[in-house]
């Protein structure tokens, strides 16, 4: 467990009375303001589904490189080892991953501005399992944003139309054993902030996640396998004028046995047309960020980390 990062029960919000729901909302706000992270227990994502997703993830990444590269199709499908790097860094992260999002024909997707999903020939069951996981994490994200909205002076359903059909992405990550010939300074995931509203991270199979605390120290973020880890991203920081910050975090190289690490973050994005103008209740002495749409901001950041030209 972590020192400090609060663990909250989602059932307090989904099944509690008015007082329990209000307490959950306040605790969520405090956790994101203080750490940029909270740990979520008693959520709506079936643990058996998480276990099956990790089994399929390991099976896919165990395939040979030629097979995996057959599915390298841009922002959907496979991204090979050593492609992505943190903003402002030239040394690539030590990871490979698979990405999926909403289907282009999804009736909740008014933008229609994203590529179709790509699915591997094997392992069997990959597509239906990860579609189920995407849907479950998407629903969890909506619940969290509903809980957060009143803390920002907004109606509980304020975020619903913004994220309905948004460009959210589920990333299935593999950090292989660190190679002997890794470039100097290369790490599994260099210090960065997430781009989106919130990230919901399925508790990883393997340690290494750390957040940069407000005092400048690195704090490990660990929890039991069935829990979720939630952090706030740059889009939410822009929307709230920094009232909810985007916290820097990283995944360090293993200090013990040099083994694989698997992780599955769900990046919750609004639709591309969503303006990231500062909320009226957060302007204070003035907006710190220039107006921009979510789509333009995402494209800018994807170029900065090497995933878009």
CA nearest to 298, candidates 197, 173, 200? 197
Is 118 domain-assigned? Answer: yes
Is 245 domain-assigned? Answer: yes
Predicted pLDDT at 292: 96
The 10s digit of each residue's pLDDT in 163-206 is 998 999 999 999 999 999 999 989 999 999 999 999 999 877 77
Of the pLDDT bands very low, low, confident and very high (cuts 50, 70, 90), residue 2 is very low
Q: Which residues contact 130 (CB under 8 A, 6 or more apart)?
A: 53, 56, 100, 170, 172
Of the pLDDT bands very low, low, confident and very high (cuts 50, 70, 90), residue 113 is low
Is 84 domain-assigned? Answer: yes
Report the C-alpha gap between 99 and 158 in whole angstroms: 27
Selected residue with higher pLDDT from 114 and 37:
37
* Number of independent structural domains in the chain: 1
Q: Which two tokens stand for residue 178?
A: 């660190």
Is 224 domain-assigned? Answer: yes
Name the residue range of residue 113's domain.
7-304
Share of the chain above pLDDT 90, in %: 80
Predicted pLDDT at 112: 55
The arithmetic mean of pLDDT across residues 106-118, rounded, is 68
Is 309 domain-assigned? Answer: no
Is 202 domain-assigned? Answer: yes
**Residue 166 belongs to domain with CATH number:** 2.60.120.330
Is 1 domain-assigned? Answer: no
The arithmetic mean of pLDDT across residues 222-227, rounded, is 89
């Amino acid at each position: 467990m972590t020192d400090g990062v609060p663990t909250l029960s989602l059932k307090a919000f989904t099944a509690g009375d008015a007082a329990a729901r209000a307490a959950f909302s306040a605790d969520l706000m405090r956790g994101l303001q203080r750490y940029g992270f909270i740990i979520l227990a008693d959520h709506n994502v079936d643990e058996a589904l998480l276990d099956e997703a990790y089994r399929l993830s390991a099976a896919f990444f165990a395939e040979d490189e030629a097979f995996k590269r057959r599915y390298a199709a841009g922002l959907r499908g496979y991204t090979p080892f050593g492609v992505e790097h943190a903003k402002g860094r030239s040394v690539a992260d030590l990871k490979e991953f698979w990405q999926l999002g909403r289907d282009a024909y999804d009736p909740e997707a008014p933008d229609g501005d994203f590529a179709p999903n790509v699915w591997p020939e094997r392992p069997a069951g990959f597509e239906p399992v990860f579609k189920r996981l995407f849907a479950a994490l998407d629903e969890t994200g909506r619940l969290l944003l509903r809980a957060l909205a009143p803390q920002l002076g907004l109606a509980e359903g304020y975020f619903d139309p913004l994220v309905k059909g948004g460009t959210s992405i589920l990333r299935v990550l593999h950090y292989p054993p660190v190679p002997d010939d890794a470039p100097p300074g290369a790490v599994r995931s260099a210090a960065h902030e997430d781009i989106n509203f919130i990230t919901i991270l399925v508790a990883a199979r393997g340690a290494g996640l750390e957040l940069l605390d407000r005092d400048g120290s690195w704090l490990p973020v660990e929890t039991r396998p069935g829990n979720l880890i939630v952090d706030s991203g740059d889009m939410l920081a822009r929307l709230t004028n920094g009232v909810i910050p985007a916290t820097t975090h990283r995944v360090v190289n293993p200090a013990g046995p040099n083994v694989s690490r698997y992780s599955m973050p769900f990046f919750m994005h609004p639709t591309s047309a969503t303006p990231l103008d500062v909320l009226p209740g957060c302007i204070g002495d003035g907006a710190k960020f220039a107006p921009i749409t979510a789509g333009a901001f995402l494209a800018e950041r994807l170029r900065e980390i090497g995933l878009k030209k």
